[in-house]
Structure 1
Amino acid sequence: MINVKAIVYDRYGSPDVLRNEEVETPAPGDRDVLVHVHATSVTPTDAIFRSGRVVSARMFTGPLRPRRRTLGGEISGQVVAVGKGVTKFKVGDRVFADTGSALGAHAEYVRISEDGALAIAPAGLDHRETVAVLDGMLTALPFLRDGARLREGQEILINGASGTVGAAAVQLAKHHVGARVTGVCSTAKREMVESLGADEVIDYAKADFTRGGRTYDVIFDAAGKSSFSRCRRALRPGGIYLTTTPSLTIFLRSLWTRGFGGKRAAIMFTGLRPDGDKATDLRLLAELAEAKTIRPVIDGVYPLAEAAEAHRRVDSGRKQGCVLLTTEQNGVPDPTAEGH
């Protein structure tokens, strides 16, 4: 085995804390596969973990310094080695995966259990498109299906419809579920949200959707910029408000509205779901992507070594869709080759 490249950080801060460093190639265990990562995403969660500014996030990443030196959770790549007990995958398989709490995706090679959140990649998409389909969809899908229990013909408003999770939610709600979708975004991103299938788009700079008199079965705050208190008047009886942003307020509202009142508030921690559930959703997303029910939305692609620039783009708040890292221009060495 030889050393390969990974993006590492040893302290919290700006994107400048990220370094492109040689690390030891992960060695697959008996039930593991080794994946050559062709593309991976840089998400707002990665930026939060890197910055260390969110105190609650440090409960996961480490109170004083990062416990895991390499960020990233979503990959698309090719299996280059398998453990002796692996039966579900073989060398050469194109796969996509979520590494979960292990992180480590911002690297040339990643080790993942065959029983992890791992599946055969959708046919007809390249690695960049594949990881872009994964980014956001694996969050939006359980929010809509399990949290909102969204049904055909219902009306949903998606706040932050141009972000990664919001754009995924627009597509799933419209094309997979068959709901009527209203998206909320800026003027500059209106056209993109309409192209994803939104029936109506509200420019948040020109109108306050909570005061327009319209009501919805579901309000999904994918941007975390509103609140249940503000949105309650825009919910129909029995409607539900969901947010991706944790806070003490939403925890309390979720508990209270579960037993009282006809309108509910809820939050979900989709990243903490069992790997088996995620793997099932990956297979569903592959089917939807192959059927062109959903499509990737890519803001920009950066070489792995330019991870800091990718983080700056995420930090800017101006991205439309996914920000990706790729190793495809790196001339990545094969750590399984003879002599290494």
Structure 2
Amino acid sequence: MKAYFTNKYGSPDVLELHEAERPHFKEDQVLVKVKAASINYGNIVLLRGKPFIARFAFGITKPKYKIPGGDIAGIVEAVGKNVTQFQIGDEVFGDLSSSGWGGFAEYVAIPEKAIAIKPKNSSFAEAASLPMASTTALQALRDKGNIQKDQKVLIYGASGGVGTFAVQIAKALGANVTAVCSTRNVEIIKSLGADHVIDYKKESFSEKGNNYDLILGVNGFQPLSDYLKALKPNGKFVLVGGSPKQMPKAMFRSIVNKKINIFMQFPKKEDLHFIKELVESRKLKAVIDRSYPFLELPDAIKYFEEGHARGKVVITF
């Protein structure tokens, strides 16, 4: 098989395409032929080794995981003898970030707990867009934010991978959603069901007073004081990602201010099933900005790092 390897931290140019043996799958694993993958912020952390604290998980001096890639969709080619939930030919999708990564390859061995049957109304590219970003949005809103029906929810950074899913999931959970994005993304965010859209180039969400029960900040650069100003007295702010300067401040302030909540996603099979149901009921769809062939993966990552993608950047095999 062909696979991208990285033996040192750095830019997308450190990725090397090599021929390699297909991975050996264990008794509780399935072998999947990858049909599509997608790029997330976690891929960038794994590739560049930044912020430095991430190296305690990914390798101090060089990457511990030689083949990057987290989100995938594909077809089951073989199953271990202890696998009970899948059979050869099943179309699946999943998040490999807690299972050794390895998604930027033509084949990958995956524990059955890390994947689910893909939505029947999704292409492989659409399914590969879902796992990490959609479950991040779901867990941040539902588990960390404790979102409730009819609450007023603001999503800052609504046009990115997590943001586009967050708008739709918040609506599916019964919230009144205000989305913040740039001028060029207003129409696409309206099409996803947002009740109100704020163009941050024309107005500030924080000047509207303390209106929101829950604010989700997705990789935003806004001062924390702006988010807090816009919250109701008993409101919650959940930070997903954030700038290198913002994250340490938020972590420190969250110790004394219970309105500030720091969130990190963790893959859960049951959440993949929940997302699958939303997609099949047409309450959730993937927004794909660009699709690149596998051989152009470094270019896809460079585009993703520019930070202007609307929705997801996907890789097709």
| Structure 1 stretch displaced more, 286-295 or 238-247 | 238-247
Q: Look up the equivalent residue of 1:256 and give its one-letter code.
A: V
Mapped contact 1:302–1:324 kept (Cα < 8 A): yes
Q: Look up the equivalent residue of 1:295 and give its one-letter code.
A: K
CA distance in 1, matches of 2:175, 2:10: 41
For 1:100, what is the secondary structure of its paired residue?
Answer: coil
Residue of structure 2 aligned with 1:312, choices 286, 302, 305:
302
Mapped contact 1:135–1:322 kept (Cα < 8 A): no
| Aligned position for 1:210 | 206
TM-superposed CA distance for 1:206, in Å, is: 1.7
User: Larger C-alpha radius of gyration, 1 or 2?
Assistant: 1
Does residue 254 (structure 1) correspond to residue 254 (structure 2)? The answer is yes
TM-score normalised according to structure 1 size? 0.88
1:272-292 CA distance string (max 9 Å, x none): xxx5xx100111111111110
| Aligned position for 1:280 | 270
TM-superposed CA distance for 1:135, in Å, is: 4.5
CA distance in 1, matches of 2:25, 2:130: 26
TM-superposed CA distance for 1:298, in Å, is: 0.4
| Aligned position for 1:6 | 3
CA distance in 2, matches of 1:156, 1:202: 13
Does residue 265 (structure 1) correspond to residue 265 (structure 2)? The answer is no
| Aligned position for 1:293 | 283
Aligned residues: 312
Mapped contact 2:149–2:174 kept (Cα < 8 A): yes
Alpha-carbon distance change, 203 to 193 in structure 1, aligned in 2, over 3 angstroms: same
| Aligned position for 1:261 | none
TM-superposed CA distance for 1:251, in Å, is: 2.1
| Aligned position for 1:156 | 153
TM-superposed CA distance for 1:46, in Å, is: 1.1
Mapped contact 1:7–1:304 kept (Cα < 8 A): no
Mapped contact 1:183–1:202 kept (Cα < 8 A): yes
CA distance in 1, matches of 2:83, 2:145: 37
TM-superposed CA distance for 1:214, in Å, is: 5.0
Does residue 245 (structure 1) correspond to residue 235 (structure 2)? The answer is no
CA RMSD of aligned residues (A): 1.5
Ranges in structure 1 where 5+ consecutive residues have no aligned partner: 259-263, 328-340
Does residue 192 (structure 1) correspond to residue 188 (structure 2)? The answer is yes
CA distance in 2, matches of 1:54, 1:36: 32
CA distance in 1, matches of 2:290, 2:224: 33
| Structure 1 stretch displaced more, 147-156 or 8-17 | 8-17
TM-superposed CA distance for 1:27, in Å, is: 1.1
1:113-164 CA distance string (max 9 Å, x none): 12x2211111121111111233411100011101111111101111100000
For 2:130, what is the secondary structure of its paired residue?
Answer: helix
TM-score normalised according to structure 2 size? 0.94
For 2:62, what is the secondary structure of its paired residue?
Answer: coil
Report 1:58-77 matches (<5 A). 58-77=55-74
Residue of structure 2 aligned with 1:86, choices 75, 83, 86:
83
1:68-101 CA distance string (max 9 Å, x none): 1111111111110011121111111111111123
CA distance in 1, matches of 2:181, 2:48: 25
Does residue 111 (structure 1) correspond to residue 109 (structure 2)? The answer is yes
Does residue 224 (structure 1) correspond to residue 220 (structure 2)? The answer is yes
